[in-house]
A and B are shown apart, each in its own frame.
Chain A
Amino acid sequence: MPDANPTPPAALSPAQMPMGRFLLIFAVSLAVLFGLLLAPPTVPAVDRFTRGLVTASAFLIRLFGGHATADGDLLSDPSSRFRIQMAYGCNGAHVTILLWAAVLAFPATWKQKAAGLLAGTAAIHVVNLIRFISLFYVGMYNRAWFDFAHLYLWESLMMIDTLVIFWTWAHFVRKSGQRTDAGAR
């Protein structure tokens, strides 16, 4: 079929990309995803996920020679009995939702979006595990520093990370679009 155009839909050029469409899909996705996060039927699944993150944190600490045990959503140090809780908003869900909404709204193929969602989510949760483990150690030594790092420092750094993760993915989408265009020429 020589007249068919088998070129996969590439990222739109700047002129083609309507900001209004992005904003609309972004806002709707944010509303739906936050609605799902806060809906009562989702809470048990989110809690299980949170407990999994705490278990992974304890495993990582032990892997590097530290001492920690996971008990539900609590990470404890057996010697000092210090423990911190991974609360509902501390599991990286908020920034993950932000990233998902942006990726879903950005013009790209579904394959590219799926790759962005998977790789972006993984990157966010790696940073979140580092954040949680660092807060565990900070909290063990100084409560005031823990509060400051927890409430003000780390959450904002996670936001910057999320923006950069999205930007990196959008950059790759655009580059692959250009390669496709160049190949098609």
Chain B
Amino acid sequence: MPAPASPQLRYLLRASGLFILLLAAWWWLLLSPMLAGLRVSTRAVLWLLPGGRSASGVTVEPDGDWSLRVPLPQFLARQDAVQRAYGRAPGALPVNVRSFRLVIGDRVPTFFTLGFPLFWALVLAGPRSRRLWRVLAAGTALLALLAQFSLLFYAWYSVETTLRLVTSPAASALWNAVEYLNMNVVPYVAPLLLAAWLHTELRARIFSWGAEPEPAATPAPETDKTRRGKYRARK
């Protein structure tokens, strides 16, 4: 079967095929080590947060869900909303709150690692490049950082909405919008933008940057007739 003539169609077929292969490899081979790595790094970040040394951690429940112990800084723990959530009666002594236990479905961290196979497929389907391995390594590292950031943001959003820490309607709307983007847009869009940013040859093809100009029609000898034409080249 001859290859399609259009470079765009060739790229579409190559990228889609590679993505399906890499998605299968991700699902059956890579997902478990990736989630283990994400758990280790999440545990480390939570440990580094204020109050994290005495109360933080990530464990996996029997059903696969993740249980995060998110440390709460003292200035937050003393807030009325938090104290009420932890059952402080009016006039009683403040409840000593050190952390918040949050259970998230295993689908959430899984979702934040989806960007890897998409990024790899977009880059590997692009034009050959001497810097290919560097592009793959840099993009993978940036996506790992993004996955970590997205998971922490999701955790913090969940803590905030459960304890109702944000009270202003405008701040709440903004907070919800950012979380919507974090869950529904960033995991898909980030690999695409990273591939276009890091893979300069692919970017050059898409934007026609640095591409060889296509041969224009042979210029006709300049005659009186051509000079009388409607359009004239700008000097």
Contacts and interface: CB of A to CB of B under 8 A. Distances in A.
Contacts of B207: 14, 17, 22, 106, 170
B130 interface: no
Contact of A14 (B9, B118, B210): B210
Interface string A145-185: 00010011101111111111011101100110010011111
Interface in B180-220: 180-181, 184-185, 188-189, 191-192, 196, 204-211, 213-214, 216-217, 219
Chain B's interface size range is 35 or more
Contacts of B204: 14
B16 A160 contact: yes
B225 interface: no
Contact of A7 (B191, B205, B231): B231
Contacts of A103: none
A38 interface: yes
A163 B232 contact: no
B68 interface: no
B12 A34 contact: no
A156 B19 contact: yes
B234 A182 contact: no
Given A175-B214, A183-B231, A184-B232, A170 B208 contact: yes
Q: Is the interface of A mostly helix, strand, loop or mixed?
A: helix
Given A2-B232, A174-B208, A151 B23 contact: no
B188 A159 contact: yes
Contact of B177 (A14, A38, A184): A38
B8 interface: yes
Contacts of A54: none
Interface string B152-194: 0000000000000000000000000100110011001101100
A160 B216 contact: no
Interface residues of A, number: 44
Contact of A178 (B20, B185, B206, B216): B216
A94 interface: yes
B8 A167 contact: yes
A163 B213 CA distance: 22
B11 interface: yes
B19 A17 contact: no
A66 interface: no
B27 to A, nearest CB: 8
Contacts of B206: 163, 166-167, 170
Nearest to B231: A184
A7 B20 CA distance: 46
9 contacts: A19-B209, A94-B185, A106-B207, A156-B114, A157-B16, A164-B11, A174-B208, A181-B216, A183-B231
Interface of B: 6, 8-9, 11-12, 15-16, 19-20, 23, 27, 107, 111, 114, 117-118, 121-122, 177, 180-181, 184-185, 188-189, 191-192, 196, 204-211, 213-214, 216-217, 219, 230-234
